[in-house]
Amino acid sequence: MTDPSRRAAVVASLASTLYRAVALGDEVAARIVHEALGRLLGLPVAPEG
């Protein structure tokens, strides 16, 4: 299992990246980071569409 503090650091980094992607209007980057966050947190991946 991954150390919770390391996982929290990765989640924080991805959240920051997601925030910047949305602020810049980069929909593709935001979607990719959003999916990565979901996988890291163990959430099911939603179908594209």
Ranges of the chain whose pLDDT falls below 70: 1-2, 45-46, 48-49
Residue 23's domain comprises 4-40
Q: Give the separation between CA 5 and CA 47, rounded to whole angstroms.
A: 30
DSSP 25: T
Residue 49 within any structural domain of the chain:
no
Q: What's the mean per-residue pLDDT of the chain?
A: 88
Report yes or no on 17 lying in a domain.
yes
Domain presence at residue 26: yes
Domain count, the chain: 1
Tens digits of residue pLDDT in 11-23:
999 999 999 999 9
- What pLDDT, on the 0 to 100 scale, is given for residue 29? 97
Does residue 36 belong to any structural domain of this protein? Answer: yes
Say if 47 falls within a structural domain: no
Q: What is the pTM of this model?
A: 0.75
Any domain includes 48:
no
23, part of any domain: yes
| The pair of three-digit structure tokens given for residue 15, joined into one six-digit string | 């959240």
